[in-house]
């Protein structure tokens, strides 16, 4: 599976290392910049951020994509 580089908020919350059960647990000073384009995970055209802004991918990120 291709590693996503741009994620929308809902996908970033599911797959990002800064999130546990979709709650933000990353650094307080975390800055995110968003651009309007297609999310690499769900394909929706929306505000997406770089993968690093979500803390990278969870180790078991492919697990979160199953059942979609």
Contacts with Zn ion by CB under 5 A lie at 8, 11, 39, 41-42
Least distance between Zn ion and beta carbon 43 (Å): 7
SS3 (DSSP) at 48 = strand
Closer residue to Zn ion, CB minimum distance, 20 or 38: 38
CA distance 23 to 14: 9
**Which residues does 19 contact at the CB level (< 8 Å), separation at least 6?**
12, 13, 25, 26, 54, 55
Closer residue to Zn ion, CB minimum distance, 21 or 28: 21
Closer residue to Zn ion, CB minimum distance, 1 or 28: 1
């Amino acid at each position: 599976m291709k590693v996503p580089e741009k994620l929308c908020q809902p996908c970033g919350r599911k797959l990002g290392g800064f999130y546990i059960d979709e709650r933000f647990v990353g650094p307080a000073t975390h800055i995110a910049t968003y651009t309007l384009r297609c999310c690499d995970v769900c394909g929706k055209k929306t505000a997406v951020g770089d993968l690093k802004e979500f803390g990278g991918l969870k180790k078991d990120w492919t697990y979160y994509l199953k059942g979609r």
